[in-house]
Amino acid sequence: MIDNREGTRPGHGRRSRLADLADMTVPAAAVPAAAVPAAAVPAAAVPAAAVPAAAVPDARDESSRIRREFAALLGEFRRTAVLLPLGEDACPLTADFNGIRWIYAFSDEAALARFAVMRGDGARAWDYQCLLGARLLDGVVPAVGVPCGVALDVGSEGDEVLLPPLLGIVPDAVAVDADEHGEDGQ
């Protein structure tokens, strides 16, 4: 476990490092339009009349592209160390929604800081654990004992990612859609 408190305690006159990090982040609305690359502009922001008919991909191509992008994102997540904020019981912080338990994970301290500020807990010290995304998906999620996914970078508007407990994301034994595909996931 990594303790990021650096010897400070809430209420002792010093601000949390997370609060300082949150103050340093720039909201997306504050970034000038000229600083955003054209590739980052969502397709929905471009008027339909501005797109030639030949440039509109069919639904199958779009679905394939989305699957490839998600597979690349999942692979990157599995190879990257993430931060798991710990609750008072030293277990990873979670939330339950629609019968799924979601483990909060963050790509860096700035993302955790934005989450803390969003919750109104930006001034307190946060303990967290650092581990690889693969270990989180393959080891921690199955150990929870209920359908469980990962909520990455909650509170970082536009950067949030949900990794639900589905085949191909979590181990087959704990995937909620395993029964739909038979025992072997086919």
pLDDT band of 166, cuts 50, 70, 90: very high
142: Cβ–Cβ under 8 A, 6 or more apart, which residues?
Answer: 170, 171, 173, 174
Q: How many CB atoms lie within 10 A of CB 135?
A: 13
Identity of the highest mean pLDDT range in 6-15, 59-68, 168-177? 168-177
**What is the per-residue pLDDT for 60?**
81
Q: What is the end-to-end Cα distance of the chain in Å, rounded? A: 38
Q: What is the pLDDT of residue 57?
A: 59
Q: What is the mean pLDDT of the chain?
A: 76
pTM exceeds 0.85: no
| Single-letter code of the amino acid located at 95 | A
Locate 49 and state its tokens: 């009349």
User: Would you state the pLDDT for residue 40?
Assistant: 38
pLDDT at 11: 41
Cα–Cα distances in Å, from 82 out to 30, 69, 115, 133, 184? 27, 20, 14, 6, 30
Q: How many helices (H) and strands (E) does the chain have?
A: 5, 7
pLDDT tens digit string along 20-77? 544 544 444 443 443 333 433 344 444 444 445 555 557 788 889 999 999 999 999 9
Cα pseudo-dihedral 114, 118, 124, 129, rounded to 10: -50
pLDDT at residue 84 in the model: 96
Contacts within 8 Å (CB) and 24+ apart, 19-27: 19/113, 19/116, 19/117, 19/122, 19/123, 20/113, 21/109, 21/110, 21/112, 21/113, 22/110, 22/113, 22/114, 22/116, 22/117, 22/122, 24/110, 25/110, 25/113, 25/114, 27/157
d(CA 182, CA 164): 19
Could you tell me the CA-to-CA distances from 45 to 38, 50, 52, 139 in Å, in that order? 11, 11, 15, 40
Which pair of structure tokens corresponds to residue 77? 């997540």
Judged against a pLDDT cut of 90, whether residue 137 lies above it is answered with yes
